[in-house]
Amino acid sequence: MATQTQIATTPQNEAVVEQKIQKLKELYADAPELGKVALEKGLPDLRRELAAATGTQNAGRIGARQGKVSELTGIIPFAKGGAKRLRGLLQALEGNFRGGDVVGTLHDMRFVFLDNDTQLLFATAYDGEWDAYIDDFVTKIPNSMDLIFSNLEGWPGIHNPSVKDFIVKHQIAAEAWYVANPNLTVAETRRLERIGKALDEFLDKVSE
Amino acid sequence: MSSVNEHSGGTVAERAPTLELHEIQATILRPRPAPYFGTHVLLRVGDARPGRAFLRRLTPHIDSAANWWSAVDPWLEVGISYSGLEALGVPQDSLQSFPASFREGMAARARQLGDEGVNDPKNWDRPYGKGEVHIGVSAFSDSEENRRRILGIAREQLAGFSGVSVLAMQDFGAQPGDLNSLGYKDGIDQPAIEGSGVEPLPGQGEPIKAGEFILGYPGEAGSPLPLPQPDILGRNGTFVGFRKYQSRVGAFNRFLQANGRNEAERELLAAKLVGRWRSGAPLTLAPEVDNPALGADPHRNNDFNYSDDPRGRQAPLGCHIRRMNPRDTKLTRLTDVKLHRLIRRGTTYGPPYDSNALSEADDQVPRGAYFLFISAKAMATIEFLQQEWVNDGNFMGLDQERDPIIGLQEEGATFTIPREPVRRRVHGIDTFNVLRGGEYFFMPSLSALRWLGELG
């Protein structure tokens, strides 16, 4: 894999960076004074960041991916009474979702109620591609899926083969997606946590 | 002659089979004979009319799965690719009712299958991946004499046609001891299918709903998969992922030599890679030394789970058979193992395994296996397996490690062997089986074959 320093030193890349900066200057020509000044003063930092840009990949049919981690963002209208039910459910869960552990790939999930409780913003970071595992959700956790998502308008039910299309239809690909540790899956993070603890215990014993 | 149904040999159930066995092609349920002899024939249909006439003549010779548990005769099977269905003049609305990945074909799905680098379709042998393979006919038999006889029947149906041409013919089987080209007994673990008429063998696990393997029946999620239309075309059919692998026997032997100091160490390492000794005896039941009698006994050689070996100290978590069927292993991702199984018909070709083959020239010797991976959703399952269980290790908590036997290895690849007190990590594992070609086929029911023959 190419390192950042390699990228920064190629003349070709420098030209690309200069092009990008020209483009940004044009874009910011009608920005508020604050923005224009920030662009000018921030140029050295920005130049470094642009030189190191590596781009995102795609996560399956839609969504962005960095290394092994993908994002899924959707805005979906609530079914009648759905906002009230889902809020009640989430409050009963005390705003947490330990049950999500069982899936083994979810880094996080976010439920945000928009526009006077008429729409749900659902955002999650997860490992790999979701559609490879949708059938496993059907046979393994159908009730958890339907309990949450039946509160959304048009949810066909997890057993309905059109459920994939429902998800894709409401999914909005992120314009940008930053992941600090793109190669660490949930499983790998848990493994490293275990190893870290075991190593500390071992070192404690050795140093006694 | 040893039992034809060596790998299926469960006893016939009290209850009659619920599948329409007389409609379903034999290969779907009948395992290879032991020993096995056979031939794959790949055909191109130049024109729809002679193509359909050929099918009409061939269909009476295609065997059904009726009484598959006791059948002893050699048999013929037939599969048709998407370009084959087009060439036969199947109507547009019918063509469109097939799954998208089947319509695109295996080569076009290379990204989803992880078929890149040496496995990239641009490196494949002719005639694969070009939309030229329209029909695949395979003959399975228990002797060379029967192979010739049954193949002769298939060829007679071709005689006098100019519109159907033979692209390739490949004999398979007839290896000493039925070992595969890396020297292992294979094909042992197959999914048990509900309603197929036999009790599962010990260790085969709970029967899986027939709809996972044959179209028109309820699957594990309760409902049948969408049927290719019309119903008569789709029902009792299934899909086959046909993949040709070439074994790099030299690279495999060099790896064993580099990482085992003596014969015993090398054989243990070879067993750790697969999860079974070459004899077929599973490490879970024979962790220290091989037990050929156990390996040869179909009632015992698959009768285990991993409940006493959660960390893989007997069968490594990343070994081939544990990846392809994790059984009761606790996986890191929510997974229903029953949804990701395939019926496998491995057919070995070329010279037998040679433990003295060490050179790079030995890697070029054409020997390996043609695999038939059979499932009602074969395309989706093969893509899943390639992405999740073959070319990744995350599901077993093994980070980026890949299947040591059929994985596509990257520079610096490793294989972890759990041990007390510390695991051993073997470096320098190479791609031991290179993909040389592949096609998706639809394997129609006997009624569907007649329907196809009488089109137009």
Indicate whether A161 pLDDT > 90.
no
pLDDT at A3 over 80: no
Nearest-Cα distance to chain A for B221, in Å, is 6
**Averaged pLDDT score across all residues of chain A:** 89
Contacts of B337 in chain A (CB under 8 A): none
| Distance from the A119 Cα atom to the nearest Cα atom in chain B, whole angstroms | 29
Chain A residues with CB-CB distance to B111 below 8 A: none
Work out the average pLDDT over A77-104.
92
Does the pLDDT at position B456 exceed 90? no
In angstroms, the separation between the Cα of residue B71 and the nearest Cα of chain A is 35
Query: Domain extents for chain A?
Result: 4-54, 58-170
**Token representation of residue B239:** 């899909």
What integer pLDDT is reported at residue B154 of this predicted model?
Answer: 93
Averaged pLDDT, A48-60: 81
Size of interface A-B (CB pairs under 8 A): 61
pLDDT at B267 over 90: yes
Give B108's pLDDT tier (boundaries 50, 70, 90). very high
Residues 60-89 of A with CB under 8 A from B: 68
| pLDDT for B3 | 34
pLDDT, tens only, A18-31? 999 999 999 999 99
**What percentage of chain B has pLDDT greater than the value 90?**
88
Write the DSSP string, B346-385: EEEESSPP-TT--SHHHHHS--EEEEEEEETTHHHHHHHI
In words, the CATH class of domain A58-170 is alpha beta
Q: Flag if B388 and A132 touch (Cβ within 8 Å).
A: yes
A1 confidence band (pLDDT: 50, 70, 90) = very low
- For A186, nearest residue in chain B (alpha carbons): B332
**B337 touching A (Cβ < 8 Å):** no
CB-based contact, A135 to chain B, within 8 Å:
yes
State pLDDT tens for residues A105-114: 999 999 999 9
Using one digit for the tens of pLDDT, what is the confidence trace for B398-444? 999 999 999 999 999 999 999 988 899 999 999 999 999 999 999 99
How is chain B split among helix, strand and coil, in percent rounded to 5? 30, 20, 50
Helices (H), chain A: 4-9, 11-27, 33-41, 43-51, 82-92, 134-140, 142-149, 163-170, 186-207
- Answer whether A188 sits within 8 Å of B399, measured CB to CB: yes
pLDDT value at residue A77: 98
Compute the nearest-CA separation of A24 from chain B (Å).
35
The predicted-structure confidence for B297-312, as pLDDT tens digits, reads as follows 999 999 999 999 999 9
Q: Is the CB of A139 less than 8 angstroms away from the CB of B394?
A: no
- Beta strands per DSSP E along B238-367: 238-247, 343-349
pLDDT value of position A128: 87
pLDDT at residue B1 above 60? Answer: no
In angstroms, the separation between the Cα of residue B332 and the nearest Cα of chain A is 6
pLDDT given for residue B177 in this prediction: 85
* Residues in chain A within 8 Å Cβ distance of B335: 133, 136, 140
Averaged pLDDT for residues B92-106: 98
- Whether B394 has a pLDDT exceeding 70, the answer reads yes
Stretch among A120-134, B44-58, B328-342 having the lowest mean pLDDT: A120-134
Under the banding of pLDDT at 50, 70 and 90, the label for residue B94 is: very high
Query: Is the confidence at residue B9, as pLDDT, over 70?
Result: no
Residue-level pLDDT at B7: 42
Q: Which residues of chain B make contact with A127, given a CB cutoff of 8 A?
A: 333, 394
Distances (CA, A) of A175 to A57, A156, A180: 12, 28, 17
| Reported confidence tier of residue A117, pLDDT bands at 50, 70, 90 | very high
Enter the ipTM. Answer: 0.84
Cβ neighbors of B367 (< 8 A, separation 6 or more) are: B181, B246, B247, B249, B348, B349, B350, B351, B352
